[in-house]
Amino acid sequence: MAVLNKIRKQSIVLIAVIALALFAFIIGDLFRNSDALSAKSQNVVATINGKDITREDFLQKVEAAQRQLGPNGTATQAMNRVWDQEVRNAVMESQYEALGITVEKDQMRDLLKSALANNPDFQNEAGIFDENKLSEYIQNLKSSSEVAYQQWVDYEKALANNALQQNYMNMVKAGMIGTLAEGKMAYHLEGDKVDLKFIQIPYSSIPDSTITVSKAEITNYIKEHEEQYKVDASRDIQFVEFKEVASVEDEEEIKKELISFKDGKVEYNNGRTDTIKPFSQVKDHANYINFVASSDIKFDNRFLKKSQLPTAFADSIYNLNVGEVFGPYKDNGHFKLSKVIADTQMPDSVKARHILIPFIGSRSATDSTTQTEAQAKTTADSLMRIVKADTTKFKSLLDFSADKVSNEKDGVLDWYTYNAMVPEFRDYTFENETGDIGVVKSAFGFHVIEILGQKNKQRAVKVATIARKIEPSEATVNKVFRDASNFEIALEKGDFQTLAEENDYVVRPVNTIKELEENIPGLGSQRQIVRWAFEEETEVGDYKRFNVPGGYAIVQLVAKNKEGLMGTEEASVTALPKIRKEKKAAQIKSRITATTVEDLGKAENITPRTSLALTMKNPTISGAGREPLVIGTAFGMEQGETSGLIEGETGVFMIHVVKKELAPEMDNYQGFANQVQTAKVNGVTTKLYNALKEAAEIEDNRAKTVQ
620 class by beta-carbon count within 10 Å (0-12 exposed, 13-18 middle, 19+ buried) = middle
Cis? peptide before 521, omega within 30° of 0: no
First-to-final CA distance of the chain:
64
Between 584 and 129, the more confident residue is 584
pLDDT of residue 706: 64
pLDDT of residue 151: 86
Which one, of 324, 386, 380, lies nearest residue 355 by Cα? 380
pLDDT of residue 29: 43
By the 8 A CB rule, do 165 and 85 touch? Answer: no
By the 8 A CB rule, do 352 and 452 touch? Answer: yes
CA distance 329 to 37: 66
Q: What is the three-class DSSP state of 358?
A: coil
Domain residue spans of the chain: 2-37, 193-206+575-661, 233-245+474-562, 248-345, 348-455
Which one, of 201, 240, 161, 219, lies nearest residue 496 by Cα? 240
- How far is CA 298 from its chain centroid? 33
Residue 367: pLDDT band (50, 70, 90) is confident
Q: Is the pLDDT reported for residue 397 higher than 50?
A: yes
pLDDT of residue 13: 47
Q: Is the pLDDT reported for residue 38 higher than 80?
A: no
Residue 354 zone, left/alpha/beta (φ > 0; ψ -120 to 50; rest)? beta
Residue 188: pLDDT band (50, 70, 90) is very high
pLDDT of residue 226: 92
Q: What is the pLDDT of residues 39-48, one digit of tens each?
A: 455 788 889 9
DSSP string, 506-523: PPEEEEEEETT--EETTT
Q: Tell me, which fold does domain 348-455 have in CATH?
A: Chitinase A; domain 3 (3.10.50)
Instruction: Report pTM.
Output: 0.66
The architecture of the domain spanning 193-206+575-661 is Roll (3.10)
CA distance 338 to 310: 11
Q: What is the three-class DSSP state of 603?
A: helix
Which one, of 423, 436, 456, lies nearest residue 352 by Cα? 436
233-245+474-562 — its CATH code? 3.10.50
CA distance 179 to 159: 36
Q: Decide if 193-206+575-661 and 233-245+474-562 have a common fold.
A: yes
**Angle, alpha carbons 310-311-317 (nearest 5°):** 60
- How far is CA 7 from its chain centroid? 75
Between 707 and 653, the more confident residue is 653
Neighbours of 35 (CB within 10 A): 8
User: In one letter, which amino acid is 260?
Assistant: S
DSSP string, 225-248: TGGGGEE--EEEEEEEEEE----H
DSSP string, 363-389: TT--TT----HHHHHHHHHHHHHHHHH
Average pLDDT in the chain: 90
Q: What is the pLDDT of residues 191-230, one digit of tens each?
A: 999 999 999 999 999 999 999 999 999 999 999 999 899 9
Calculate the CA dihedral of residues 7, 10, 11, 17 and round it to 10 degrees. Answer: -100
Q: What is the three-class DSSP state of 211?
A: coil
Q: Is the pLDDT reported for residue 14 higher than 50?
A: no
Q: Is the pLDDT reported for residue 57 higher than 80?
A: yes
Could you list the beta-strand ranges (E) of 408-528.
412-417, 437-442, 445-455, 458-469, 508-514, 519-520, 524-525
SS3 content of the chain, % helix, strand, coil (to 5): 50, 25, 25
CA distance 509 to 518: 16
Inter-CA distances, 420 with 417, 426, 446, Å: 5, 8, 18
Q: What is the three-class DSSP state of 626?
A: strand
CA distance 625 to 593: 26
**Angle, alpha carbons 343-333-473 (nearest 5°):** 125
Residue 368: pLDDT band (50, 70, 90) is confident
5 class by beta-carbon count within 10 Å (0-12 exposed, 13-18 middle, 19+ buried) = exposed
CA distance 135 to 597: 82
* 659-662, Cβ contacts within 8 angstroms, sequence gap of 24 or more: 659/194, 659/195, 660/192, 660/193, 660/194, 660/195, 660/634, 660/635, 661/192, 661/193, 661/194, 662/188, 662/191, 662/192
By the 8 A CB rule, do 629 and 643 touch? Answer: no
pLDDT of residue 41: 59
Determine phi and psi for 594, rounding to 5 degrees: -60, 150
Q: Is the pLDDT reported for residue 618 higher than 70?
A: yes
pLDDT > 90 in the chain, percent:
67
